[in-house]
Structure 1
Amino acid sequence: MTQDRLKPGDLRSSRWFAPDDLRSFGHRSRMMQLGYSEADFRDKPIIGILNTWSELNTCHSHFPERVKDVKRGVAQAGGLAVEIPSISVDESFSKPTSMLYRNLLAMEAEENIRAHPLDGVVLMGGCDKSTPGLVMGAISAGVPMIYLPAGPMLRGNYAGKILGSGSDAWKYWDERRAGNISDAEWLGIQGGIARSAGVCMTMGTASTMTAIADAMGLTLPGASSIPAVDSGHMRMSADCGRRIVEMVWEGLTPDKIVTGASVRNAAIVAMATGCSTNAVVHLIAMARRAGVQLELDELDALGRITPLIANVRPSGKDYLMEDFYYAGGLRALMKQIEDRLDTSAITVTGKTMAENLEGAVVYNDDVIRPLSNPVYREGSLAVLRGNLCPDGAVMKPAACDPKYYQHQGPALVFDSYPEMKRAVDDETLDISPDTVMVLRNAGPLGGPGFPEWGMLPIPKALIKQGYRDMLRISDARMSGTSYGACILHVAPESFVGGPLALLRTGDIVRLNLEERRLDMLVDDAEIAARRAAWIPPEPRYGRGYGHIFSKHVTQADKGCDFDFLQTDFGPGAGEPDIF
């Protein structure tokens, strides 16, 4: 990519530091208070490092060291790096769900960039919601940006068995509930399933979203695959520092990278990796920040024609992200499907995707399958419609038993997570393998925050009979590390009066995956009568951030962003003009 390079006087930060006036005197004096001389910050790019580290975010525990690597790279390229702590939307501990705070991170990132004398930014994230949150905010802010993914943790291990975070937790928990795992074994699994810094090493939401950022052209090529504790991750971090300085001089802003073509590339790559169902919500939100009106049906159409070729759990059967990296990583996967991508798309390297994919090689074709031998003939996700989900619902067919692709059974409906949890632990529960478990009031407003409750536990009554899967429906999300016959993101959600609110225990529910249909077999007159009798629940929040969230969050099919942050909502204030 060639264009006129910026001159020092063109730098955004020069508006803070260059003028000979009282305001700029104050800005320069405060920089000197920090120990900098004018030679440190005048006429050179100032790079903000937005760091989502916290002592409760286990996935980002290596970030204090990686910041040093980024700063080293920035300094080598002639810039000045400044670290700006950002809210750490950790998946492990945040209640009711970190999804409640994704938009808060996006707002914080956007306003931090806009308010400060930054010419470019390095975004440090990885744990599920941090990738979309940071990217959404940076797209809206519009300064040159590069994304630094945290990288997956090492493979888990216990008693000679390879463990995948999340996926094996669910599997062994069912065995624990069945009485097949001792206290000592359970403790050993706990200690062996997460062995290092980094995000889940399955193709969960974290690795899905960093792969999406990579495929969208927002990371250095293949950066999303590098394990967190690999020395290559340190080198990549320094490379990010060097590259962002050049991006500033080149004027390479997000609007030149995040386009309709790059969004489509990201969606295709997501399908080919066996992505998390959460990708739907986040990718739609990220795209719409760039003015790309991505729709659910477009994702479903891409899913129907994109084979799943990454044999990585939970959609794949055998391997984890460390194996994926050794097999060639995301560049190798993208090379396999290169003819399906728009390789003319520009990336943060300033080069096209085609140039970035030159020389990519698959080293293990069981981990990264050829198109002739896919893990699953279609992509990872399917979008359903019907009288239960007129605005859509999402399913992950590759991660469940094909016998559920056509299913009909009676609903067992729960209005809350505690109610459901009590029932599934009742060994006398009246339930059959054909029953369709339903959880409602777990969507963006009902959860609140759209929690990951959608992989409903298999009832003990069925576990003891040897069953490990059944059809489950909710307006919740589920962890990207989850698997099974789960239908999620039912929209509109029940809390706002979506059809799921009208379903009753005993009603027959029918799924037809091939036709992409999900329906309750209840006649229209009865549905209308139930709707007339439905009473809206009380709002979850009366004040604070939760109140803002409740008033402005969009539904799942629109990405759950705040309506007032969308590009078509209205003009922003623009660059600060009071100096």
Structure 2
Amino acid sequence: MPDLPDHDRFRSGALRSEFTPGSTRWAVRRAQWTALGLSPEEQRRPKIAVVNTSSKLGICFSHLDGIAELVAEAIREAGGLPFEIRTTAPLDFVTSAGRKARYLMPTRDLIVNDVEAAVEGAVLDGMVCLSSCDKTTPAHLMASARLDIPSIIVPGGYQLGGEYRGCSVDIDTVYESVGAVQAGTMSAGQLGELADSAIKGPGVCAGLATANTMHVLAEALGMTLPGAAPIRADSERMRGLAAEAGRRIVGMVHEGLTARKVLTVDAIENGIRVAMALGGSVNCVRHLAAVANEADLDLDVIGLFERLGRDTTQLAAIRPNGADQVWDLERVGGVRAVLRTMLPLLHRDALTVTGRTLAEHAADAPEADGAVLHRLDDPVRSEPGLLILRGSLAPDGAVVKVAGAGNARRCFTGPAEVFAGEDAAIAALGTGGITEGSVIVLHGMGPRGGPGTVFAASFVAALNGAGLGGKIAVVTDGELSGLNQGLVVGQVMPEAADGGPLAGVRTGDTITIDLDARVLATDPARDGAPVTSGRPGQERGWLGQYAALVGPVQQSAVLRRPRPAGG
């Protein structure tokens, strides 16, 4: 059989991994794989990557090696040939330690390239991606869209919290309690005891932070099997679905069901609706935009959040947005129940990795229970959980998770207090140097300004821990956590490093955040030279390469493609 262009192989029904007998590629690969103990018959099977984005650095990934083995065995049972692929494995609460978390955002795109090099370099037929902490799920979705091969996401699931002094605690409790130490209401020793009690099992943060948000959105996009999110990590249900994904991917290869047949405009719009209805992490905005970008969809995702938000309401209040826990959402039916509830607003015919439509999956899902998951006619909030603000301070938009704003004022006007980074802001918090009624501005911390988005999330958590969350607003182009609460405006676009208006803000300027008008404005509106928190032009290594390649955050901060010759 003559070699065919890779994507034509799916249309022809042949395996793209089958090389012409007698060719160089066929011969040298056969030598390698025979030495691994693979028979000639096995080598003719569909070749599937099990993308295990895992490491021993943190508890989020600690179960994935076992899950990878389950998936691989299921692939073999279904007639496929599995190959485990390892990639960079960022963990927000560990990888954030270096360089003020500058490595976190760049690892998303590093994983995409990692997957491309391994899977496309070997010309494998499909992949099952084991997704866990914050950046891994968007990276796997982006890689799926870029490679356009049969792909399934297996969400790694959430971790369980523990107990400290008779109270339920989790990583969110630890995160916010740093502010209590700064305020003098908790000792460092007590914080250490709390940290030792906070996590009781593998998986991602137990709240609807970025990791669980992206797990949920992977299912809403149609890229997981039904019922995959949210799910307790390493539970029997999760292990069963992982094995089922291993069997299903072989069928997808034979059917030619590639990622871009699932990741369509309709799918992205469905994902946006679900993100707003659940009040997901602010970071999902840039991640959904990045998936659309890699799928070559010509979409204004920021504009879609605005347009679709006009008739989308918040249907659940999952911690940190409210008292219900992520396992409560799993108990009442998870994403399948959300999709059934929202079906009148969704694209019903959007295809999923099962080969069936979203509406078919939702047909036998549980109905909204009315307590954890509300009906469309009885929402938790009569607006979406995520809002896009625009105005003189954010002409290209900014994101606020109104679902987590609590009792903050709908219209907040106050003087700016500008800080170069969160360390200085946290220090000021500890000395009483931050005034109630002010708007804390942390700028120069976006993808280009870091380079790599610099943490602002720890300051926001500390602010809440100090009891000031509803009394002070925060505006930043830095990295936020989906666990953050309060009136926090993030992903201000353009970022200060691109000369956005945030660069011109000075301490004492008046800033207005108006949630009803969806406005973020400053008075006076000043022009400012680009502001960076690092020295992008002087970075070496990966951060230097990232600084040279990363695009504007309003275009999802993906790595820019080289221009065609003469372009």
| Shorter-chain TM-score above 0.5 | yes
Contact 1:392 1:490 in 2 (8 A): yes
State the match for 1:300 in structure 2: 306
Spell out, residue by residue over 1:489-542, the C-alpha distance to the aligned partner (whole angstroms, 9 max, x if none).
11221123221111111111112222211111116xxx35x55x9999853544
Corresponding position: 1:443 with 2:446: yes
Hey, what's the Cα distance between the residues in 1 that align with 2:178 and 2:375?
34
Aligned residues: CA RMSD:
2.6
Corresponding position: 1:242 with 2:247: yes
Contact 2:131 2:155 in 1 (8 A): yes
- 3-state SS of 1:261 partner: helix
Aligned length: 552
Indicate how the Cα distance of structure 1 residues 535 and 137 shifts in structure 2: closer, same or farther if over 3 A, else same: closer
State the match for 1:312 in structure 2: 318
Hey, what's the Cα distance between the residues in 1 that align with 2:444 and 2:79?
53
Contact 1:397 1:405 in 2 (8 A): no
State the match for 2:342 in structure 1: 337
- 3-state SS of 2:459 partner: coil
Structure 1 residue identity aligned to 2:63:
H
Spell out, residue by residue over 1:388-425, the C-alpha distance to the aligned partner (whole angstroms, 9 max, x if none).
11121111112114543211111111123333233222
Indicate how the Cα distance of structure 1 residues 424 and 114 shifts in structure 2: closer, same or farther if over 3 A, else same: same
State the match for 1:496 in structure 2: 498
State the match for 2:196 in structure 1: 191
Hey, what's the Cα distance between the residues in 1 that align with 2:74 and 2:204?
24
Spell out, residue by residue over 1:270-292, the C-alpha distance to the aligned partner (whole angstroms, 9 max, x if none).
11111000001100000111122
Contact 1:476 1:488 in 2 (8 A): yes
Matches within 5 A, 1:231-380: 231-292=236-297, 293-315=299-321, 317-362=322-367, 364-380=369-385
Question: Offset of 1:223 from its aligned partner?
Answer: 0.6
Hey, what's the Cα distance between the residues in 2 that align with 1:486 and 1:30?
54
State the match for 1:39 in structure 2: 41
Question: Offset of 1:183 from its aligned partner?
Answer: 5.5
Spell out, residue by residue over 1:465-497, the C-alpha distance to the aligned partner (whole angstroms, 9 max, x if none).
877541111111211111111111112211232
- 3-state SS of 1:35 partner: coil
Contact 2:546 2:559 in 1 (8 A): yes
- 3-state SS of 1:140 partner: helix
Equivalent residue for 2:133, pick from 118, 127, 133 = 127
Contact 2:176 2:461 in 1 (8 A): no
Hey, what's the Cα distance between the residues in 1 that align with 2:401 and 2:109?
25
State the match for 1:92 in structure 2: 93
Matches within 5 A, 1:205-244: 205-244=210-249
Contact 1:170 1:482 in 2 (8 A): no
Matches within 5 A, 1:466-545: 469-522=471-524, 527-528=526-527, 538-539=535-536, 541-545=538-542
Hey, what's the Cα distance between the residues in 1 that align with 2:314 and 2:15?
44
Contact 1:272 1:307 in 2 (8 A): yes
Spell out, residue by residue over 1:332-384, the C-alpha distance to the aligned partner (whole angstroms, 9 max, x if none).
11111111111101100001111111211147432112223322221121111
Question: Offset of 1:114 from its aligned partner?
Answer: 1.1
Indicate how the Cα distance of structure 1 residues 541 and 107 shifts in structure 2: closer, same or farther if over 3 A, else same: farther
Indicate how the Cα distance of structure 1 residues 543 and 459 shifts in structure 2: closer, same or farther if over 3 A, else same: closer
Hey, what's the Cα distance between the residues in 1 that align with 2:462 and 2:229?
37
Indicate how the Cα distance of structure 1 residues 185 and 548 shifts in structure 2: closer, same or farther if over 3 A, else same: closer
Hey, what's the Cα distance between the residues in 1 that align with 2:130 and 2:457?
28
Hey, what's the Cα distance between the residues in 2 that align with 1:463 and 1:169?
9
Spell out, residue by residue over 1:535-579, the C-alpha distance to the aligned partner (whole angstroms, 9 max, x if none).
9985354433222211221222211101118xxx659xxxxxxxx
- 3-state SS of 1:84 partner: strand
Corresponding position: 1:548 with 2:552: no
State the match for 1:576 in structure 2: none
Contact 2:175 2:458 in 1 (8 A): no
Contact 1:326 1:363 in 2 (8 A): no
State the match for 1:561 in structure 2: 558
Indicate how the Cα distance of structure 1 residues 459 and 195 shifts in structure 2: closer, same or farther if over 3 A, else same: closer
Contact 2:175 2:462 in 1 (8 A): no
Indicate how the Cα distance of structure 1 residues 21 and 5 shifts in structure 2: closer, same or farther if over 3 A, else same: closer
Question: Offset of 1:229 from its aligned partner?
Answer: 2.5
- 3-state SS of 2:440 partner: strand
Hey, what's the Cα distance between the residues in 1 that align with 2:469 and 2:542?
42
Indicate how the Cα distance of structure 1 residues 39 and 403 shifts in structure 2: closer, same or farther if over 3 A, else same: closer
State the match for 2:5 in structure 1: none
- 3-state SS of 2:354 partner: coil
Hey, what's the Cα distance between the residues in 2 that align with 1:134 and 1:467?
34
Corresponding position: 1:382 with 2:387: yes
Corresponding position: 1:14 with 2:29: no
Equivalent residue for 2:144, pick from 138, 149, 161 = 138
Contact 1:288 1:294 in 2 (8 A): no
Q: TM-score, normalised by structure 1?
A: 0.89
Hey, what's the Cα distance between the residues in 2 that align with 1:261 and 1:465?
42
Hey, what's the Cα distance between the residues in 2 that align with 1:172 and 1:266?
33
Contact 1:311 1:366 in 2 (8 A): no
Question: Offset of 1:189 from its aligned partner?
Answer: 2.2
Structure 1 residue identity aligned to 2:519:
R
Matches within 5 A, 1:138-177: 138-166=144-172, 168-177=173-182
Hey, what's the Cα distance between the residues in 2 that align with 1:136 and 1:144?
13
Hey, what's the Cα distance between the residues in 2 that align with 1:401 and 1:107?
39
Indicate how the Cα distance of structure 1 residues 240 and 445 shifts in structure 2: closer, same or farther if over 3 A, else same: same
- 3-state SS of 2:29 partner: helix
Indicate how the Cα distance of structure 1 residues 386 and 14 shifts in structure 2: closer, same or farther if over 3 A, else same: same
Indicate how the Cα distance of structure 1 residues 455 and 500 shifts in structure 2: closer, same or farther if over 3 A, else same: farther
Spell out, residue by residue over 1:78-118, the C-alpha distance to the aligned partner (whole angstroms, 9 max, x if none).
11111011111221211324112111111111222211131
Hey, what's the Cα distance between the residues in 2 that align with 1:145 and 1:174?
42
- 3-state SS of 1:487 partner: strand
Indicate how the Cα distance of structure 1 residues 160 and 5 shifts in structure 2: closer, same or farther if over 3 A, else same: farther
Q: TM-score, normalised by structure 2?
A: 0.91
Indicate how the Cα distance of structure 1 residues 40 and 537 shifts in structure 2: closer, same or farther if over 3 A, else same: closer
- Structure 2: tracts of 5 or more residues without a match: 1-7
Moved more, 342-351 or 377-386: 377-386
Question: Offset of 1:246 from its aligned partner?
Answer: 0.2
Moved more, 386-395 or 121-130: 386-395
State the match for 1:70 in structure 2: 71
Hey, what's the Cα distance between the residues in 2 that align with 1:490 and 1:265?
24
- 3-state SS of 2:396 partner: coil
Structure 2 residue identity aligned to 1:53:
S
Equivalent residue for 1:109, pick from 98, 111, 115 = 115
Identity of aligned residues (%): 32
Contact 1:382 1:394 in 2 (8 A): yes
Contact 1:198 1:227 in 2 (8 A): yes
Contact 2:421 2:456 in 1 (8 A): no
Hey, what's the Cα distance between the residues in 1 that align with 2:262 and 2:250?
17
Contact 2:158 2:231 in 1 (8 A): yes
Structure 1 residue identity aligned to 2:38:
Y
Hey, what's the Cα distance between the residues in 1 that align with 2:182 and 2:341?
42
Indicate how the Cα distance of structure 1 residues 124 and 492 shifts in structure 2: closer, same or farther if over 3 A, else same: same
Indicate how the Cα distance of structure 1 residues 322 and 156 shifts in structure 2: closer, same or farther if over 3 A, else same: farther
- Structure 1: tracts of 5 or more residues without a match: 572-579
